[in-house]
Structure 1
Amino acid sequence: MKLVGITSCSTGIAHTYMAAEGLEVAAKEKGFEIKIETQGSIGAENVLTPEEIAAADAVVIAASTSVNKDRFIGKRLISADVTEAINNGPDLLERALKAPIFASETIKLADSEETKTSQGIYSHLMTGVSYMIPFVVAGGICIALAFAFGGINAEGDLAQAINELGGTAMGLMWPVLGGYVAFSIADRPGLIPGMVAGMLAANMNAGFLGALLGGFLAGYTILLLKKYIKLPASFSGLMPVLILPVISVLVVGLIMKFIVGVPVTALNNGIMNWLNSLSGMNSILLGLLLGGMMAIDLAGPIGKAAYFFGVASLANLGNGETSQIMAAVMISGMVPPLAMALSATVLGKNLYSKEEREAGKSAWVLGLSFISEGAIPFAAADPLRVLGSVTVGSAIAGALSMLFNCGIAVPHGGFFVFLIPGAVNNVLMYVVALAIGTIVSGFLVTLVKKGSQKQSA
């Protein structure tokens, strides 16, 4: 049997390649041939050729973002989330060989309409997020470098120039989010109203929620316009360059300006004011909650919600200010892979397979880089014990970060931004909080694994 596939996750980093590896390992076990195209953060790699697609018996799409399937019309095709390819590759391949023939993006499959709609909404959201994250990371790191060269106020020509670059990149994150959510829904015509809606959200201080709602509004507005506006064939060329852009920008822009934007802006300001007012036990409890969310599904939907809560808090700050919420989120996301690395390579080597011990070595680097997905191979093999243990340590790390009044000025980068002057407030205690969370989870997962082995002996 010959199969081909595509993997793609919201960030285009770890899940994309882990899903590809999961499918390749499953195919090898079953004696199948498979080629996987990875659509990661640096673009498509190992691209499928028309000849390879034509020769394939089935196609597997493992993606949490929207993937163009036009190449696969006439082939058996199954779509699933990246986590299914990581956790259950063999079953996914078997189902692909029995999947229905793919005819077009509009074909109605056997799934319920409610399930397809919910999956579609999540896919559109993750598509927007996947395009937005590089702007957030690049902008945040540039701002941190500006602090390194010119102090917390970015003084000096070089520091000011780098700070301006960072601010420009960060300023584009809401238009990009709105634009690519709409792009996922309505293809290229959705980009224009989606980006306009995102820019309006940024200008109105409607933040993440405003850009997100604007993106969905723009995408579905385009779909409605394409459904009801019919032009003679001789004028059809006007649709993509004149009719759709002008009408959609007017409709979406006015709705954002006078209907959606005002209450969302008020809600966003209310949330930020409430967050800024938190202190003492309330802030510690918030850190505990965000920390647990970052670990419970290892950068899945719950973790993404916590992460963008942190990004939103950072986006509402002035130049040179640090966010305690973003600090709690980042440190909590670093704990799971570091804890599993500690357990697999130091505390309990005999509890893990050779492959897991090798994964533990990589998890050190992934954890220090704030890539929570480094713990996924361990969670896939033993989900209850691993997820339970790392969630405890992450929650503790988030709470301690809040308790120690740690703040951070960038949305990504992990331990490597700790070394940039001005990027982290109270950096020594921040490292202490990270160490405590990692040690707690590392010892906890080692103990519960030892206990399970004794019971099975």
Structure 2
Amino acid sequence: TCTAWTSTTPRTWRRSAVSSPRPWAASRSPGPATVADEGTPEPAGPARPFRIVAVTSCPTGIAHTYMAAESLENAGREAGVEVVVETQGSAGFTRLDPEVVAAADGVILAHDVAVREKDRFAGKPTVDTGVKAAINRPGELIREVRDKAARGEVAAASPDATRSPDATPVERGGEPGEGYGTKLRTWLMSGVSYMVPFVAAGGLLIALGFAIGGYEINKAPSVMDHFVWTQADSWGALLFQIGGVAFAFLVPVLAGYIAYGMADRPGLVPGFVGGSIALTIDAGFLGGLAAGLISGAVVLAIQRIRIPKALRGIMPVVVIPLISAAVVGFLMFVVIGKPIASAQSAMTDWLSGLSGANAILLGALLGLMMCFDLGGPVNKVAYTFATAGIAVASPSDSAMKIMAAVMAAGMVPPLAMALATTVRGRLFNAAERENGKAAWVLGASFISEGAIPFAAADPLRVIPASMAGGAVTGALSMAFGATLRAPHGGIFVVPLIGNPLLYLVAVAAGVAVTAALVIVLKGLRRAAPGAAAQGPDGADPSAPAPGEKQPVAA
């Protein structure tokens, strides 16, 4: 449910049937007898359930993080395993109780960004995987960690014992054999995850400023010099200028946290400096990406130099920030800044010149990307491309059309799944019908991840159908000339959209296409000769849920 995705309440141990009133003892392995906190042996009895602690995190820390947590908890209840999950989301995280970690029999780390304080779980059987694995196949992960526990496989006592002492947070956070292609994606997603809140806050404030004060509000004087409490224009100017300040952090934050993902805290100073220089020289979003990667690389190179013991104390405070900021500043100002600024300008000119068939094709392509992995890396590339275009003081009309097309397409999959479960509920099992109710809200809020439960259960039908609807919506949005200055908000920012009625028509068309395709494809599966319709758990999707009455044939 939606409430489970936004809850920050610390989780407690949950048994699949009835929760035990006793807290966990600090025993490490299940057995017929345990030792109580007072040190007296408990009577022998049924073996206690296997206990797992888990951590989930995703680049944006919004939807995948909490969906993975809920999926693991549900799979744990089905398997008779006690699961406690720590969600390291965008709202921060509440650390698992050390006693709970100590009493756990296994650990599942489902993450696309580095797990914070990972060393807490050293010495336990551990499964380390991506966050989508916890959403799509939680039962397999639980079986894998139980198998590791049975074989006695545990994580190294020191997380870095088997790796270079200079390993980056990402290298410490993943498997030892991961390639740098995977690490590069994680570094970039680390920067994007910290950037998105600035994009959302700044973009929405700017859009509200335009809505209240009109499209000339960007020419208003500073509210420090002129602000009248009773004038709407003054309030519009205030919101616009606050949003502009928030947007100004976008590129430095992107660069700073890319460098942080590579080199930990020492990467922040050169990253922020390089990102600010990228803004100064009009290198924009591309300059921020380059500055972040260069900053991380420079810090890693400095850290590999052997330093006398007497100087190590001042390295992180003085030497590394000084040298890395100077090197990155030199490279950005003198060496690579101008070529990157030229590339950024060329991309901006290309976007501004898009019209007619080219614009429609771009809208269709962006729609396909938004619906391909429903919040995954390809989705984030399309979204980041759109937000980069509007992350300037005066974005072009083409950039705002691209933003409108991206948001419209991202709303299609969950809304379509919600519609399909409403129109032909007997094609879906009880859990999917329940997820369909939440998908109405998620789709309206531009949270594409609301369709993931459906895609995970039936990817060969849901994903192609979603991509078809997304392409239709993206193309229609561009053809209708709908514009959007806000980078998020879904249906709730429709008053801020140019050509809002046609924009809603584009969304409705895509939703209808996707819902129709899903219904047809699932109907064909049911009608296949000799094949019984099955849900993801092998059950008939049309079967009533426990407690439901069997439908009467017409």
TM over 0.5: yes
Counterpart of 2:391 in structure 1 is 315
- What displacement does 1:65 show? 1.3
Unaligned runs of 5+ in 2: 1-49, 164-171, 221-232, 533-554
Aligned CA distance change for structure 1 residues 287 and 317 (closer, same or farther; 3 Å): farther
- What displacement does 1:315 show? 1.7
- What displacement does 1:291 show? 0.4
Residue by residue over 1:394-428, the C-alpha shift from the partner in whole angstroms, topping out at 9 and shown as x without a partner, is: 00000000101111011111110112xxx211111
- What displacement does 1:273 show? 0.9
2:523 pairs, out of 430, 450, 453, with: 450
2:107 pairs, out of 50, 54, 59, with: 59
Aligned CA distance change for structure 1 residues 250 and 17 (closer, same or farther; 3 Å): same
- Which runs of structure 2 are paired with 1:57-456 in the superposition (5 Å)? 57-68=105-116, 69-97=118-146, 98=148, 100-102=154-156, 103-105=158-160, 107-108=162-163, 113=177, 115-154=178-217, 156-233=233-310, 235-316=311-392, 318=394, 323-345=400-422, 347-419=423-495, 423-455=496-528, 456=531
Residue by residue over 1:363-403, the C-alpha shift from the partner in whole angstroms, topping out at 9 and shown as x without a partner, is: 01100100000000000000010001010010000000010
Aligned CA distance change for structure 1 residues 317 and 326 (closer, same or farther; 3 Å): farther
- What displacement does 1:106 show? 6.2
- SS for the counterpart of 2:179 is helix
- What displacement does 1:94 show? 2.6
- What displacement does 1:148 show? 2.3
Counterpart of 1:30 in structure 2 is 79
Choose between structure 1 and 2 for higher RCO, CA contacts under 8 A separated by at least 6 residues.
1
In the alignment, the residues of structure 2 paired with residue 255 and residue 370 of structure 1 have an alpha-carbon distance, to the nearest angstrom, of 39
Asked whether the 8 Å contact 1:340–1:375 carries over to 2, the reply is yes
Number of residue-to-residue matches in the alignment: 450
In the alignment, the residues of structure 2 paired with residue 199 and residue 351 of structure 1 have an alpha-carbon distance, to the nearest angstrom, of 53
- What displacement does 1:75 show? 2.5
Asked whether the 8 Å contact 1:153–1:320 carries over to 2, the reply is no
Letter of the 1:104 counterpart:
P
Asked whether the 8 Å contact 1:131–1:180 carries over to 2, the reply is yes
In the alignment, the residues of structure 1 paired with residue 393 and residue 467 of structure 2 have an alpha-carbon distance, to the nearest angstrom, of 29
- SS for the counterpart of 1:323 is helix
- SS for the counterpart of 2:113 is coil
Compare 192-201 and 402-411 and name the one that shifted more. Answer: 192-201
Structure with greater Cα Rg: 2
Structure with the higher helix share, 1 or 2: 1
In the alignment, the residues of structure 2 paired with residue 309 and residue 90 of structure 1 have an alpha-carbon distance, to the nearest angstrom, of 36
Compare 74-83 and 274-283 and name the one that shifted more. Answer: 74-83
Asked whether the 8 Å contact 1:12–1:40 carries over to 2, the reply is yes
Letter of the 1:188 counterpart:
R
Compare 251-260 and 425-434 and name the one that shifted more. Answer: 251-260
- What displacement does 1:314 show? 1.0
In the alignment, the residues of structure 1 paired with residue 159 and residue 299 of structure 2 have an alpha-carbon distance, to the nearest angstrom, of 19
Residue by residue over 1:118-169, the C-alpha shift from the partner in whole angstroms, topping out at 9 and shown as x without a partner, is: 2222222221111110000000111111122211223622211111110111
- SS for the counterpart of 1:12 is coil
- What displacement does 1:278 show? 1.2
In the alignment, the residues of structure 2 paired with residue 220 and residue 433 of structure 1 have an alpha-carbon distance, to the nearest angstrom, of 44
In the alignment, the residues of structure 1 paired with residue 473 and residue 466 of structure 2 have an alpha-carbon distance, to the nearest angstrom, of 10
Compare 224-233 and 36-45 and name the one that shifted more. Answer: 224-233
In the alignment, the residues of structure 2 paired with residue 315 and residue 111 of structure 1 have an alpha-carbon distance, to the nearest angstrom, of 35
Alignment identity in percent? 46
Unaligned runs of 5+ in 1: none
- What displacement does 1:219 show? 1.4
Aligned CA distance change for structure 1 residues 307 and 319 (closer, same or farther; 3 Å): closer
Letter of the 2:238 counterpart:
A
Asked whether the 8 Å contact 1:153–1:319 carries over to 2, the reply is no
Letter of the 1:67 counterpart:
V
In the alignment, the residues of structure 1 paired with residue 504 and residue 108 of structure 2 have an alpha-carbon distance, to the nearest angstrom, of 42
- What displacement does 1:259 show? 2.4
Counterpart of 2:536 in structure 1 is none
Letter of the 2:57 counterpart:
S
- What displacement does 1:100 show? 4.3
In the alignment, the residues of structure 2 paired with residue 323 and residue 106 of structure 1 have an alpha-carbon distance, to the nearest angstrom, of 49
Q: Taking structure 1 as the reference length, what is the TM-score of the superposition? A: 0.94
- What displacement does 1:317 show? 5.6
Compare 429-438 and 75-84 and name the one that shifted more. Answer: 75-84
Compare 391-400 and 96-105 and name the one that shifted more. Answer: 96-105
Q: Taking structure 2 as the reference length, what is the TM-score of the superposition? A: 0.78
Aligned CA distance change for structure 1 residues 432 and 166 (closer, same or farther; 3 Å): same
In the alignment, the residues of structure 1 paired with residue 74 and residue 296 of structure 2 have an alpha-carbon distance, to the nearest angstrom, of 38
In the alignment, the residues of structure 1 paired with residue 329 and residue 124 of structure 2 have an alpha-carbon distance, to the nearest angstrom, of 41
Residue by residue over 1:245-266, the C-alpha shift from the partner in whole angstroms, topping out at 9 and shown as x without a partner, is: 0001011111122223222222
Does the alignment pair 1:50 with 2:105? no
- SS for the counterpart of 2:87 is strand
Alignment RMSD, CA only?
1.8
